[in-house]
Amino acid sequence: MTPRPPLPPFDRESALKKVQAAEDAWNTRDPEHVALAYTEDTVWRNRDTFLTGRAEITAFLREKWARELDYALRKELWSFQDDRIAVRFQYEFHDATGQWWRAYGNELWEFTGGGLMRRREASINDVWISAAERRISGPRPAGDRTLIPVW
């Protein structure tokens, strides 16, 4: 297994880097790339869906981004300790009908010593928004890496 820095135990700086790396990866909308951050036997709860392993994660993400068009995400560090990080996030997307959505949520992450995520628990709520209410348009600009909340 190739280490995936930053590695636990996390301090504020390394936790912030880990969160930004996750945001950057998810904004690629590339399931194969994103799945490499997780262990082969990773365990996820995403809303009411329970998944195990990279193959299931990859398939899940492929289906997600086929439905959630023009997906754009922001994550914020909430807390960290040892090998765990908590984040809050929001993302926006539109569906096939053109309806825009904003999703709000919290995630709990647990990592291996090599920096791969072995567990992810995500609670997410969606709200309808109009195109005029959008706050997130594409990945976070390189000059805006402060992880200040967008809500």
Burial zone of 41 (CB within 10 Å; 0-12 exposed, 13-18 middle, 19+ buried): exposed
Entry pTM: 0.93
User: Residue 151: which pLDDT band, with cuts at 50, 70 and 90?
Assistant: very low
Are 86 and 78 in contact, with CB atoms under 8 Å apart? yes
Summarised one tens digit per residue, pLDDT across range 13-38 is 999 999 999 999 999 999 999 999 99
Mean pLDDT, rounded, for 107-135: 98
Are 105 and 90 in contact, with CB atoms under 8 Å apart? yes
